[in-house]
Structure 1
Amino acid sequence: MKHSPQAASDESGSNKFTVQQRLFFVVLVATMGALAYGYDTGIISGALPYMTLPADRGGLNLTPFTEGLVTSSLTFGSAVGAFISGYVSDRFGRRITLRSLALLFVAGALGTTLAPNIEIMVAMRFILGIAVGGGSSTVPVFIAEIAGPKRRAPLVSRNELMIVSGQLLAYVVSAAMSLLLHDGSMWRYMLALAMIPGVLLFIGTFFVPASPHWMVSEGRFKEALRIMRKLRENPREIKKEMAEMRQNAQQARQGPAPRELLKEKWVIRLLLVGFGMGIVLQFTGVNAFMYYTPIILKSTGLGTSAAIAATIGNGIVSVIATFAGIKAIGHFGRRPILLTGLTIVITMQLMLGAVLVFMPHNLTQSLLALACILVFLFFMQMCISPVYWLLMSELFPMQLRGVLTGSAVSFQWVCNAIVAFVFPPLLSLVGNSAFFIFAAINVGSFIFVALALPETRGKSLEEIEAHVREHFGESIKTASVAE
């Protein structure tokens, strides 16, 4: 019996819808780690004002030093988690790594909720940070390897969408509890909710496939093909991707061993670019805004509850901006988007510094400061954050993707920790002139992106690997001739 063209079209459409559903579910499960990441980094801004209260009022009696220590302990843990998870995900696969990290999310969230003193709080935040950092390096890679060339950019960018959604949820929870509970120990309830996405991630990993790229690298071709048939609509796409992955795996087996590959100049240069992008992302000062917005706004005369409520604007703007960023990534190259974002970020930092330093403390100053922060965040979350995580998922070669991504993201977390730890003392030392310092650093970031970052848009992961190998190889040859 012959099928009509219309029937064939309907069948194709149905299959397409099924593939889209599967991809949506895989990304949703994987980004539970990103949701936990966002919530854990966002909730601290609402919890800190109550954690600074004396112990007899429900707080931990934090000083500016211990405030920075509690905040940055998560980010130092994240640096360790990102680095370790890179090796683990290359050895045991992305899915098993995410499942293990989910358990750490739950344990860390529970520990911070019950912490009786600063020492245990710092230790538990460090453990929670291991999960946050491990998820931040593993989730984008897992999505990139699942998604395929056509959908990689928008699907990996949903990782950033879930991060900012988690931060928005944290701000809403903080504001609601601050307005309704009037309890100095409410920060414990805020931190307890972080267990929920960890539980969902753990359960979800039993219902998603392994990475086909990792399967092929392990020589498990039949299993990889079965997975690809569930995640791709077109047999030609499957055939082309499988051929590229097998060729890449064969070249990896015939080429230098991973330890030897780490010594090659093009790999070292590529890793340095990854490190440089960590500086670009974190020395925008974005987490100074995300962690300390209530403290910044309180310096203009706003009350604690009003300052915490104002951070909801941060979350809303970040979510809207990430949607815009997902659209932009589909139409423009990585480099132009980054350069545009850095231009606006520098401008807003100069304006915020001017508003806080030269204007009198009144409602107008508070509103202008908040406006500068919101515009900064919009372009940060539209142009810089999603592009960073996308680049981390696609820049590095398959043979070392977990290790190099983990190392680069780990360095990013070190930069994050430095900013989080230094910002309160810096603010007390030089005042609001600190924002002029961030602006100067970001001028350097603009120059770095313009000169050093290769363009990856429109290429498969295997094509990107060939491109960066050639790109940095040519640079090395040119330098040798000059010498």
Structure 2
Amino acid sequence: MNTQKSFLMKVILISTFGGLLFGYDTGVINGALPYMSEELGLNPFTEGLVASILLFGAAIGAVFGGRLSDYNGRRKNILYLAVLFFIATLGCTLAPNVTIMTISRFLLGLAVGGASVTVPTYLAEMSPAESRGRMVTQNELMIVSGQLLAFVFNAILGNMMGDHPHVWRYMLVIAALPALFLFFGMLKMPESPRWLVSKKKNDDALGVLRKIREEDRAKSELNEIKTAFSEEKETKKATFKDMLAVPWIRRIAFIGIGIAVVQQITGVNSIMYYGTEILKDAGFKTEAALIGNIANGVISVLATFVGIWLLGKVGRRPMLITGLAGTTASLLLIGIFSLTLEGTTALPYIVLALTVTFLAFQQGAISPVTWLMLSEIFPLRLRGVGMGTTVLCLWVVNGLIGLMFPVLLATVGLSTTFFVFVVLGLGAITFVKKYLPETKGLTLEQLEHYFRTSGSQGNQEAVNKMAK
């Protein structure tokens, strides 16, 4: 491996610890909630609030994370987020009541939302076009790895210390360690060359590109970035209003928001946040549900590896449509079996098998494509506000599902709750088939050119021509 590739791998490893924190902090609540509910006296609504307030915080964090990464730089923004992760983790761990827990989870959400925008953007801007899909989805791999770690630690602590009243605090505090690693690691990382060009620091940008590209490639890529940026100078600093005013930008925003909503309405995070509760509702005891939930984490990691491999072979559209078909079918079967086999000893095992199948499609196809496309469809001057706006929508939908899921589970039951997600899944498939363009094989600058010139007419032939 040459020096440039070696350094690029280091950039990926360290920056994606933001994704690991994202995964751990969203997944740990899955196992901590049953124990936390007892000590803090939570009901179905306050359970939903504690789980989902992080997501509403993430919505706000995504908006400001995009803007701050445009202003301060991607690297510096990740450093600030690492500090916030650490402080908010300690707040959650030491929370004496629901109020402090809610505030700390909200602050943790700000960090998660900021990371969900800044880390994929940083990776997309550091990666060469031919391996951008693989690089950006490394962050998705770290997210699901963080969730798996959370499930494993939850199961170990729950089974070893289940009688200890503060066991959930030990589950939460573990996230402080990767926050420290992210902070000290990012101190040695370079800034994004595309952001440096946007601040007229062309020499610095070339210096960074030389660390991660061969000499000739570094110079030609710098010229390509400068050309793309000079074309955008006609447009004033991007705002949300600009996204609505310019037709080709409005189309990108519509597609971006659509992709974000599609990923969430599959109901994936009802399983990632409440997997233990779902398995308990199906018939497992708490300790067994914690262990069973590890299967959800393992399949998520394995499926993401497959997804990363597929992104180099298959287009974004067919991956997304296949993934949605698989998740919708899995949810339909969960609903049917929950209705017909209620109270049987087989039901919890069938539900576990189907949640594993669901996650194989979700993490192997839908999630990798979602984060990759959100990081690549917006032009440079709009990337911060564009990612911020679309990920805001993603987190709001995520938060609403997180808030309402335990209430639905308590009122209408497991089967009806999943039938609702089946209907939403059918709507998601329709959206993707009708509106989503194929973006595989294009540089970020070629994508921008496509949307500027032929994107408003939906001319997919232009995309195919550039990709060849």
Output the TM-score relative to the length of structure 2. Answer: 0.95
Residue among 434, 440, 444 paired with 2:423: 440
Aligned to 1:10: none
Aligned to 1:354: 336
Distance in 2 between residues matched to 1:356 and 1:98, nearest whole Å:
43
Residue among 124, 136, 147 paired with 2:127: 147
3-state secondary structure, aligned to 2:412: helix
Is 2:372 the partner of 1:394? no
Distance in 2 between residues matched to 1:469 and 1:38, nearest whole Å:
35
3-state secondary structure, aligned to 2:23: helix
Amino acid at match of 1:273: I
What is the CA distance between 1:196 and its match in structure 2? 1.1
Distance in 2 between residues matched to 1:321 and 1:430, nearest whole Å:
31
Residue among 81, 84, 87 paired with 2:67: 87
CA-to-partner distance for each residue in 1:262-291, whole Å, 9 max, x for gaps? 321221221121111111011100010111
What is the CA distance between 1:257 and its match in structure 2? 4.1
Residue among 307, 332, 335 paired with 1:325: 307
3-state secondary structure, aligned to 2:28: helix
Residue among 399, 403, 416 paired with 1:417: 399
What is the CA distance between 1:467 and its match in structure 2? 1.4
What is the CA distance between 1:429 and its match in structure 2? 2.1
- Number of aligned residue pairs: give it: 455
Is 2:210 the partner of 1:229? yes
Aligned to 2:434: 451
CA-to-partner distance for each residue in 1:59-78, whole Å, 9 max, x for gaps? 11110010000000100000
Residue among 396, 421, 426 paired with 2:408: 426
Aligned to 2:255: 273
CA-to-partner distance for each residue in 1:225-266, whole Å, 9 max, x for gaps? 011111013x33223311210101111223444247432122
Distance in 2 between residues matched to 1:471 and 1:257, nearest whole Å:
23
Distance in 2 between residues matched to 1:315 and 1:337, nearest whole Å:
21
Correspondence 1:36-435 to 2 at 5 A: 36-53=21-38, 59-181=39-161, 182-233=163-214, 235-259=215-239, 261-262=242-243, 263-432=245-414, 433-435=416-418
What is the CA distance between 1:293 and its match in structure 2? 1.2
CA-to-partner distance for each residue in 1:320-352, whole Å, 9 max, x for gaps? 000000000010111110000001111101001
Amino acid at match of 1:99: L
Is 2:11 the partner of 1:26? yes
What is the CA distance between 1:383 and its match in structure 2? 0.3
Structure 2: unaligned runs, 5 residues or longer? 460-468
Aligned to 1:473: 456
Amino acid at match of 1:193: I
- The answer to which of 271-280 and 119-128 deviates more is 271-280
3-state secondary structure, aligned to 1:150: helix
Q: Is the Cα–Cα contact under 8 Å of residues 274 and 392 in structure 1 kept in the other structure? A: yes
CA-to-partner distance for each residue in 1:337-373, whole Å, 9 max, x for gaps? 0000001111101001111111132331111111110
Aligned to 2:463: none
Q: Is the Cα–Cα contact under 8 Å of residues 300 and 362 in structure 1 kept in the other structure? A: no
Q: Is the Cα–Cα contact under 8 Å of residues 213 and 245 in structure 1 kept in the other structure? A: yes
CA-to-partner distance for each residue in 1:195-216, whole Å, 9 max, x for gaps? 1111111111111110001111
Q: Is the Cα–Cα contact under 8 Å of residues 4 and 210 in structure 2 kept in the other structure? A: no
Amino acid at match of 1:468: F
Aligned to 1:3: none
Amino acid at match of 1:33: G
Amino acid at match of 1:434: T
What is the CA distance between 1:52 and its match in structure 2? 1.2
Distance in 2 between residues matched to 1:231 and 1:37, nearest whole Å:
26
Distance in 2 between residues matched to 1:452 and 1:469, nearest whole Å:
17
3-state secondary structure, aligned to 1:258: coil
Amino acid at match of 1:19: Q
Amino acid at match of 1:404: G
Structure 1: unaligned runs, 5 residues or longer? 1-15, 54-58, 477-483
What is the CA distance between 1:475 and its match in structure 2? 5.4
Distance in 1 between residues matched to 2:270 and 2:453, nearest whole Å:
38
Distance in 2 between residues matched to 1:419 and 1:261, nearest whole Å:
30
Amino acid at match of 1:28: L
Q: Is the Cα–Cα contact under 8 Å of residues 322 and 382 in structure 1 kept in the other structure? A: yes
What is the CA distance between 1:471 and its match in structure 2? 4.0
Distance in 1 between residues matched to 2:186 and 2:218, nearest whole Å:
24
Amino acid at match of 2:131: R
Q: Is the Cα–Cα contact under 8 Å of residues 283 and 347 in structure 2 kept in the other structure? A: no
3-state secondary structure, aligned to 2:209: helix
Amino acid at match of 1:223: D
Q: Is the Cα–Cα contact under 8 Å of residues 90 and 400 in structure 1 kept in the other structure? A: no
Against the structure 1 CA distance between its residues 82 and 257, is the aligned structure 2 distance closer, same or farther, given a 3 Å change threshold?
Answer: closer
Aligned to 2:462: none
Q: Is the Cα–Cα contact under 8 Å of residues 238 and 385 in structure 2 kept in the other structure? A: no
Q: Is the Cα–Cα contact under 8 Å of residues 63 and 388 in structure 2 kept in the other structure? A: yes
What is the CA distance between 1:300 and its match in structure 2? 2.2
Q: Is the Cα–Cα contact under 8 Å of residues 454 and 468 in structure 1 kept in the other structure? A: no
Distance in 2 between residues matched to 1:73 and 1:390, nearest whole Å:
26
Output the TM-score relative to the length of structure 1. Answer: 0.92
Distance in 2 between residues matched to 1:310 and 1:475, nearest whole Å:
45
Residue among 454, 460, 464 paired with 2:447: 464
